[in-house]
Amino acid sequence: MTVTGSMNVVHSINTNNVTGYSTSMQRPQSMQQSQPIAVPQTLAAVDLGSNSFHLMVCRVQNTQWVVVDRLREPVRLAAGIDPDNNLSHAAQGRALACLTRFGQRLAQIPPNCIRVVGTNTLRSVRNASQFIKAAEAVLGHRIEIISGVEEARLIYQGVAHSSAADKHRRLVIDIGGSSTELIVGENYHPLHMESLHIGCVSLSTQFFAEGRISNKAIKSAELSALQEFELVVAHYKRLKWQTCIGASGTIRVIDRILSATGWSKQGISREGLKLLVNHLRERNHISELNLPELDAERAAVLPGGVMILAAAFKALDIDHLRVSEGALREGLIHDLLGRFQHEDVRASSVNALADRYHADREQIQRVTHTAQDCFTQVAADWNLESDHDAQWLYWAVSLHEIGLDISHSHYQKHGAYVIEHTDLAGFSRQEQQYLALLVLAHRRKFPDKNFRELPQPQEKTARRLAVLLRLAVLLHRSRNTEPLPKIGLHAKGKTLTVRFPPQWLANHPLTEADLQQEAHYLQDADITLSVEEI
């Protein structure tokens, strides 16, 4: 197809595919879900942790769920990081073999009923994208990389929904393979979240290499952990939590050891943890750990996990910690269930970000209604999904002007940067990058190179959503409160035809000039823009 930079105004009479512009200030119906989507019978969560990979399958009954299957494999991804900060071939091999087996278990579950997330190791290694591409191929599902703060939020949800309801402010600690999450919250609402760059695998690898234990190593490991806690301890003490809850496999194993030895009952006490540390001091190697409830796989990372927990008790003045069975996977299930019940936390995050950067709500609603009209008319021809893709278009409309709060010059770039680098609850890193790209592309030069970096068929969908966003924004550039006339759209392949009433463009020369310029910009989107008067 030949793409030209000129706008061809065709005068014809054609009443097909024309709708009116609504002056209602309500959010358009097709860009939100007025009723919850039918909740599926089965949901699944996969946690690609730095120590172990976990799969959990649940059966949903009357908006509640019960676990029907759990799989866990000790992949120890964080132990397979080479000096160049790449995942070793051996670590990748273990991970891909595990995910091949997980893929078989997930094969009969619809993709929209599954969430697969990667945590700290996959956030940080240099060859993460290469590994993720291979992992998605064997697993058969998309892998989301979540930020440390998002991981903390999901952990808190899992703990809160797995714990007895109480009115006390709680501190939640989760010790993972290469990160430790700290969350203070009330009921189901986290108030403050941190992700520290220290975990049971990374600390064990650094100070207890090849399973060797020494008093010097114990002191050094605790000091290293205390240095991490030092960055946040003052703020957490000011939050004045009343109860402390621990999550993760490391804390559950420590709890079982202390209970079986009689060193602590009904959770982990300060005294019981000291006895466990003393037991470590008296040994020279993990093979000498004569502890009940401890298998060889967990023993390899126990010293690091114990010293992180001991440092947490000391830094935060913890006397006793209760242990939760819920954590990240349970949080993923609750989050996924919420999306089917029209309780998507991502919508709240978008609204909060728009408010923080003082987005013009009236302009958002004007652009939203036009974007809605455009979307409805071309969705079938452009293979856009009415629920999923309309949601992303609405979010992009809601945030397209937040960069104005920083600077008018190149404000689309400022907005995109904020979206990509802000911690947005509910969004994975890839989702934030996708939303940021739509905002970046909503005006001026079309960032074709950025779109080509997206996987297919996501690239085609993203380009088309960006074009609809650009058109809706352009038509409201004057910020005029008067409604637009009836405007028709027709999409055929890479050609988008926009139809206006007779003489409307002649009476609005600035809009006509903007459309002329837009036709030139859309060359880079491989879209031909044709404008007609009917």
What does the pLDDT average to over 288-296? 93
Q: What Rg, from alpha-carbon coordinates, does the chain have?
A: 27
36 preceded by a cis bond (ω within 30 of 0): no
Query: Cβ distance 170 to 156 under 8 Å?
Result: no
- 3-state DSSP helix/strand/coil percent for the chain, to nearest 5? 50, 15, 35
Question: What's the longest Cα–Cα distance across the chain?
Answer: 91
Query: Cβ distance 169 to 186 under 8 Å?
Result: yes
* CA 448 from centroid of its chain's CA atoms: 24
DSSP 153-170: HHHHHHHHHHS---SS-E
DSSP β-bridge partners for residue 192: 184
Query: Cβ distance 247 to 159 under 8 Å?
Result: yes
What does the pLDDT average to over 188-198? 95
243-to-246, 313, 318, 321, 460 alpha-carbon distances in Å: 10, 13, 9, 8, 50
Q: What is the pLDDT of residues 228-273, one digit of tens each?
A: 999 999 999 999 999 999 998 999 999 999 999 999 999 999 999 9
507-to-475, 501, 519 alpha-carbon distances in Å: 14, 11, 20
Domains contained in the chain, CATH given: 9-34+348-533 (1.10.3210.10), 42-147+332-338 (3.30.420.40), 164-323 (3.30.420.150)
Of 370 and 37, which is predicted with more confidence? 370
What does the pLDDT average to over 221-233? 97
What does the pLDDT average to over 361-366? 97
Please name the residues in contact with 420: beta carbons below 8 A apart, sequence gap of 6 or more.
432, 433, 436
Please name the residues in contact with 434: beta carbons below 8 A apart, sequence gap of 6 or more.
392, 454, 458, 462
DSSP single-letter state for residue 74: -
pLDDT of residue 135: 97
Query: Cβ distance 164 to 322 under 8 Å?
Result: no
Residue 16 pLDDT level (bands cut at 50, 70, 90): very low
Rounded Cα–Cα distance for residues 441 and 396 (Å): 10
Query: Cβ distance 148 to 156 under 8 Å?
Result: no
Of 62 and 116, which is predicted with more confidence? 116
DSSP single-letter state for residue 119: -
pLDDT of residue 419: 98
* CA 319 from centroid of its chain's CA atoms: 34
pLDDT of residue 99: 98
Residue 387 pLDDT level (bands cut at 50, 70, 90): confident
What does the pLDDT average to over 427-436? 97
pLDDT of residue 31: 56
pLDDT of residue 24: 33
Q: What is the pLDDT of residues 121-155, one digit of tens each?
A: 999 999 999 999 999 999 999 999 999 999 999 99
DSSP 179-246: -EEEEEEETTEEEEEEEES--HHHHHHHHSGGGB--HHHHHHHHHHHHHHHHTTHHHHHHT--SEEEE
DSSP single-letter state for residue 523: G
Rounded Cα–Cα distance for residues 500 and 185 (Å): 53
Q: 429-440 and 458-475 helices cross at what angle (nearest 10)?
A: 40
Q: 487-492 and 18-19: which strand pairing?
A: antiparallel
Residue 25 pLDDT level (bands cut at 50, 70, 90): very low
Helix (H) or strand (E) holding 334: helix 328-340
Sheet containing 170-175: give its strands across: 189-196, 180-186, 170-175, 243-247, 320-323, 268-269
Rounded Cα–Cα distance for residues 446 and 264 (Å): 62
Of 6 and 461, which is predicted with more confidence? 461
pLDDT of residue 86: 97
| Amino acid occupying residue 124 | S
Residue 26 pLDDT level (bands cut at 50, 70, 90): very low
Q: What is the pLDDT of residues 46-82, one digit of tens each?
A: 999 999 999 999 999 877 899 999 999 999 999 999 9
Mean pLDDT for all residues in the chain: 91
Half-sphere exposure in the Cβ direction for 101 (13 Å, CA): 13
Query: Cβ distance 114 to 44 under 8 Å?
Result: yes
Helix (H) or strand (E) holding 531: strand 528-533
What does the pLDDT average to over 300-314? 97
Please name the residues in contact with 460: beta carbons below 8 A apart, sequence gap of 6 or more.
none
Look up tokens 């599954």; give the residue. Answer: 114
Rounded Cα–Cα distance for residues 258 and 266 (Å): 9
Question: Per-residue pLDDT for 329 more than 60?
Answer: yes
How far separated are the first and last CA of the chain, in Å rounded? Answer: 25
Q: 3-state DSSP call for residue 174?
A: strand
What does the pLDDT average to over 372-393? 95
210: left (phi over 0), alpha (psi -120 to 50) or beta: left
Rounded Cα–Cα distance for residues 56 and 47 (Å): 9
Query: Cβ distance 473 to 400 under 8 Å?
Result: yes
